[in-house]
Amino acid sequence: MKTGLRRLGLLVFGVALGLPVGWWLPRPASERVDRVVAMSWGDGSYGKAFYGAHVYLEQGEDESRVSVRGRVYIGRGDGRVSYFRELGELGTASTEDEAVARWGAISWREEGLAIGTGPDARFVLRETLERHR
């Protein structure tokens, strides 16, 4: 009986300590909605809205610039994403507004995925996107 109460006490203590600590820990930039530049779901050979393009900001090495990064989520079903492919750094910008202007447009084409406009745009071939299986 005492062992059960001791375990229950440790569980309650762990939860009471873990919740505030988890609340205050910093979240990765890829999980913060205020760091999103653009997000779009696109169809693929494996289904409708199977791929999700996510462009987000991280603090750059130079404090005066932000790093614009890309990720493609793969698989969407049962309320969860199976896994993702990192696209790495798309470029840097001096402000969030500049990042949105340069990489805020996402378009899904038959040939693949286009992120951004102008000379900074990145294109990922459909063959590359669908190479996950």
User: What pTM was estimated for this model as a whole?
Assistant: 0.73
Handedness of CA 55, 57, 61, 64 (dihedral sign): positive
pLDDT per residue of the chain (133 residues) written in tens, 0 to 9: 677 777 766 666 666 666 565 555 555 555 657 789 999 999 988 888 899 999 999 987 788 899 999 999 998 766 666 788 999 999 999 999 999 999 999 999 999 999 999 999 999 999 999 887 6
Distance CA 105, CA 115 (A): 6
Half-sphere exposure of 35 (CA within 13 A, CB side): 16
Q: What is the pLDDT of residue 79?
A: 64
